[in-house]
Amino acid sequence: MSRRRWIADEVSGNRAALTGPHAEHLARVLRARIGQEFDIATRTGVRRGRVTNIAPGRVEFELGEEITAIATPNVTLALSVFKFDRMEWAIEKCTELGVARIIPVIARRTEAHLAAAAAKRADRWQRIARQASEQSRRDSPPEISRPIKLKEAVALPGSMRILLAESEQAAMLRDVLQSHSPGGDVVLAFGPEGGWTEAELELFREAGWIPASLGNTILRAETAAIAATAIVLSELQ
């Protein structure tokens, strides 16, 4: 049985600790015991950790042998902001699948009140990504950046930049991946509920993004993000 993985809040030499609610969950909910072993992810890698002390709001570990990490493709999601409950679900599931970075985007059809509140959701999105990373045994959570405007999203760098669009009829995402053989970073851009405007689509095309489709059905924003992430990571791994 695989050991559960935790991302350390503190690391010093061969010692690490979880703190605050992070530690309380391990101590109170999962009833951690002195001597119990877990995988502990640090900034430099993953090591086996043995619980040495449990105190209110703190669980300490002695770090042992290093654990070999599995390399994953570097995939970034430029995810237009949509209803927060559904967006949180997309962040959680795409984190589990293995994305490296999630960038919230304020698109033309992003609802005004969501755009205004997006910056205040960053901490919550980071917590969701961290919990999903531990559950899925990732070495580290994805970076979740500040919300950016569309012009910044169009200028994002990447060896392959793919625009997911309902209006695209000619190229399926899987075919695009197989025909271009990306060798570096992949960036996927997703529109909000209601999709991209024609002006936005034109900006992406002019900047060299490759349009792609997920099929004939109309998907919710969160479904499109999860489906595309799964396809890309499956093709590239």
Do 42 and 129 belong together in one domain? Answer: no
- CA distances (Å), 11 to each of 14, 40, 41, 43, 90, in order? 8, 10, 10, 9, 30
Q: Look at residues 23, 50, 67 and tell me which one is the last residue of a structural domain.
A: 67
Q: Look at residues 29, 48, 67 and tell me which one is the last residue of a structural domain.
A: 67
Q: Look at residues 67, 87, 106 and tell me which one is the last residue of a structural domain.
A: 67
Do 142 and 178 belong together in one domain? Answer: yes
The CB density around residue 137, as the number of other CB atoms within 10 Å, is: 16
The CATH number given to whatever domain includes residue 217 is 3.40.1280.10
Do 144 and 198 belong together in one domain? Answer: yes
The CB density around residue 49, as the number of other CB atoms within 10 Å, is: 28
Q: Which residues of 28-158 form beta strands (DSSP E)?
A: 37-42, 45-55, 58-67, 75-80, 101-106, 143-144, 148-149
Do 99 and 148 belong together in one domain? Answer: yes
The CATH number given to whatever domain includes residue 50 is 2.40.240.20
What domain range is 83 assigned to?
A: 75-236
Do 103 and 183 belong together in one domain? Answer: yes
Tokens representing residue 39 in the block: 């995988």
Q: Write the CB contacts of 172 (distance below 8 Å, at least 6 apart in sequence).
A: 212, 213, 214, 215
Do 108 and 208 belong together in one domain? Answer: yes
Q: Write the CB contacts of 187 (distance below 8 Å, at least 6 apart in sequence).
A: 75, 76, 77, 78, 156, 157, 158, 160, 161, 162
Do 161 and 100 belong together in one domain? Answer: yes
- CA distances (Å), 36 to each of 8, 135, 201, in order? 16, 18, 53
Do 27 and 87 belong together in one domain? Answer: no
Do 141 and 174 belong together in one domain? Answer: yes
Do 60 and 80 belong together in one domain? Answer: no
Cα–Cα distance between 226 and 228 in angstroms, integer? 6
- When divided into structural domains, the chain yields a total of 2
Cα–Cα distance between 127 and 113 in angstroms, integer? 22
Q: Which amino acid is at 130?
A: R
- Confidence at residue 183, expressed as pLDDT on a 0 to 100 scale: 64
Do 195 and 82 belong together in one domain? Answer: yes
Do 84 and 22 belong together in one domain? Answer: no
**pLDDT tens, residue order, the chain (237 aa):** 578 889 999 999 999 999 999 899 999 999 999 999 999 999 888 999 999 999 999 999 999 999 887 777 899 999 999 999 999 999 999 999 999 999 999 999 999 999 999 999 999 999 999 999 999 989 889 999 999 999 999 999 999 999 999 887 779 999 998 887 666 799 999 999 999 999 999 999 999 999 999 998 889 999 999 999 999 998 887
